[in-house]
Amino acid sequence: MILKASFTIKYVSVGDFRFSYIERGKRQGAENVILMVHGFTGDKGVWCLMGNALPKTFHLVAVDLPGHGYTTRKHHDDHSIPAQAAKLHQFVMAIGLDKRKFHLVGLSMGGFVAGIFAARYSSLLSSLVLMCPAGIKAPKLSDFFCQIANGGKNYLLPENPEDFNLMLKKQHSRAFYEKVLTEISHPDQRFLLHDVLEDIDVPTLALWGDNDEILDVSAVDIIREKVKDCEIQILDSCGHAITLERPWRSAKLILQFINSLAQRG
């Protein structure tokens, strides 16, 4: 998939911490620069289909978050969302993305990280795209969280090797992901994005699938209420995995959004 999308796999180190990322195009001379951040248990590859649908004149970067994909995993590090946003800032500085403003796109947990990043480092951004982000206290609890609250099975952390291999492929990752999930779902952490939405002062696009069973679509009402400059787009007959279920539609909506910013002058 990476080769089809014309991405190149790269690495950059900050001290003893190594980030893995994929890149298409060059920042210099690019029409727009987009940094993409995946969700919990995902990796940079989830962006390839959508990336392939974006103009070749765009400089695209997708990074593996700490402990995900081929980025350094340190089990005892802080993996709270603020800590991940700080790591993302280190990555941005390390590869020189701070040299010009860029568009930040985040999916699910990556949307949570991107939202916190935008609230902290808005001067670096042209815009923010939140794709079904975690971290918002939605008016309606999703089917997934209702099931977990009632003691049901957590499909993000499968309980047998067959289910686990389907999602994670490497069984030894389970302990790490359990730790991350525990940190980001702590009562002091789980709704941090909700609390800083009003601090986001860059143009924001929110994309959400109307059939999302992981994070309920009703959260868009909170985004609409709290983010000063936002656009909401609901994808019909789409679940939580937006980049895989609707890669071309997502790319089209993001492109339209970015073009609309240029028209503002």
Q: What DSSP string runs through the chain?
A: -TTTTT-EEEEEEETTEEEEEEEES-STT-SEEEEEE--TT--GGGGHHHHHTS-TTEEEEEEPPTTSTTS---TTS--SHHHHHHHHHHHHHHTTGGGS-EEEEEETHHHHHHHHHHHH-GGGEEEEEEES-SS---SS--HHHHHHHTT---TTS-SSHHHHHHHTS-GGGHHHHHHHHHHHTSTTTTTHHHHHGGG--S-EEEEEETT-SSS-TTHHHHHHHH-SSEEEEEETT--S-HHHHSHHHHHHHHHHHHHHHHHT-
201 as an active site residue: the answer is no
The active-site residue, picked from 20, 108, 127, 142, is: 108
212 as an active site residue: the answer is yes
The active-site residue, picked from 20, 212, 216, 250, is: 212
173 as an active site residue: the answer is no
The active-site residue, picked from 38, 59, 240, 250, is: 240
Active site residues: 108, 212, 240
